[in-house]
Amino acid sequence: MVGQERKMKVFACNGCPELAKEIAKILGVELGQIHVGKFSDGEVSVHIDESVRGADVFVIQSTSTPVNDNLMELLVTIDALKRASAGRINAVIPYFGYARQDRKAMAHDPITAKLVADLLQTAGADRVLTMDLHAAQIQGFFKIPVDHLLGLTVLNKAICDEDFVKGDDFVVISPDVGSVARARALASKLNAPLAIVDKRRPKANVMEVMNIIGDVEGKTCLMIDDMIDTAGTIVQGARALVEVGKAKHVYACCTHGVLSGPAIERLSNSVIEKLFVLNTIEIPEEKKFDKLHLISVAQIFADAIRNIYEEVSVSKLID
């Protein structure tokens, strides 16, 4: 097969170096020799220190904060690999920045997610591997294959062993209507009922809770979302579960821990007892707090990379 005729090489930029090391270790390969830095004027500097001619190359980079720096690192690295005659260039993007700008919310708005897709293809990416796009339809912005892994697979495996999910009083909560499908899928896996926090958002990052749909009184609740940014949605939803719905305990989980602005303070002071977050975004030590429980996605990404390299279906990892 073509993938087996090419040598696998795995490179990491500066977006998620620890996750990249973990993935490489599982794959049994050394990370490729590359220098990704900046010139004195702030421009991104990339130099590949080994031959990649004809290789099946995987570049691991989350385009999280600083979003523009990490995106440019990825684009310049892909361009460098293309000009160095790499056989196939696979962009492994655990967290896909700009994914929330997937449509025109208002007149004259850009669709930046489409622009990012165009940039990745123009730079020379042959394939994209990512997880939990904010809108799954973003896959359609690309003219190259996109493998879209689900964080739910990893979260379910980690959470199903927790004691709080094993009682008859356990309920899975969708923090808004947009997350119902994700919450329903988790509830099905955990054999639990589903409830929904009905909310109204008057403006960006501001949420007004209106109602709790479902019975949560005296129950242990687990809220699930694709990402937590400023934590306003998840924290206010958790408070509503306790104050309005009379829930007994509240836990939360998400794929992407963006955790910007007041997120850490809000979560630390919230009624949420434990927060499960996948490590698609590297969280610095100063942002880690007692309630935070990180879960690694290294295994599923390593499995997907191996399947892509060996030309084996990735869909079984998604299913």
Q: What is the DSSP string of 30-95?
A: PBP-EEEEE-TTS-EEEEE-S--BT-EEEEE----SSHHHHHHHHHHHHHHHHHTTBSEEEEEESS
pTM flag (> 0.85): yes
Query: What's the confidence (pLDDT) of residue 176?
Result: 86
One domain for residues 136 and 209 = no
Structural domain of 212: 153-288
One-letter identity of residue 49: D
One domain for residues 6 and 19 = yes
One domain for residues 13 and 129 = yes
Query: Tell me: the pLDDT tens digits for 194-241?
Result: 999 987 666 666 656 568 999 999 999 999 999 999 999 899 999 999
> How many domains does the chain contain in total?
2
Query: What's the confidence (pLDDT) of residue 198?
Result: 87
One domain for residues 134 and 24 = yes
- 184 lies in a domain? yes
Residue 199 designated active-site: yes
CATH label of the domain that carries residue 202? 3.40.50.2020
- 166 lies in a domain? yes
The pLDDT tens digits along the chain (319 residues) read 444 468 999 999 999 999 999 999 999 999 999 999 999 999 999 999 999 999 999 999 999 999 999 999 999 999 999 999 999 999 999 999 999 999 998 999 999 999 999 999 999 999 999 999 999 999 999 999 999 999 999 999 999 989 999 888 999 999 988 889 999 999 999 999 999 998 766 666 665 656 899 999 999 999 999 999 999 989 999 999 999 999 999 999 999 999 999 999 999 999 999 999 999 999 999 999 999 999 999 999 999 999 999 999 998 887 6
Q: Which residues is 104 bridged to in the sheet?
A: none
- Let me know how many helices (H) and strands (E) the chain has, helices first: 10, 14
One domain for residues 31 and 105 = yes
One domain for residues 93 and 72 = yes
Query: Tell me: the pLDDT tens digits for 85-99?
Result: 999 999 999 999 999
- 85 lies in a domain? yes
One domain for residues 135 and 220 = no
One domain for residues 168 and 283 = yes
- 293 lies in a domain? no
One domain for residues 11 and 133 = yes
One domain for residues 121 and 254 = no
**Cα–Cα dist 21/295, whole Å:** 15
- 200 lies in a domain? yes
Query: What's the confidence (pLDDT) of residue 199?
Result: 73
One domain for residues 8 and 132 = yes
CA distances from 254 to 32, 124, 179, 213, 289 (A): 31, 31, 11, 21, 16
Coil, helix or strand at residue 224: strand
**Cα–Cα dist 314/319, whole Å:** 9
Q: Which entry of 189, 199, 274, 291 is annotated as an active-site residue?
A: 199
**Cα–Cα dist 10/29, whole Å:** 8
Coil, helix or strand at residue 167: coil
One domain for residues 109 and 6 = yes
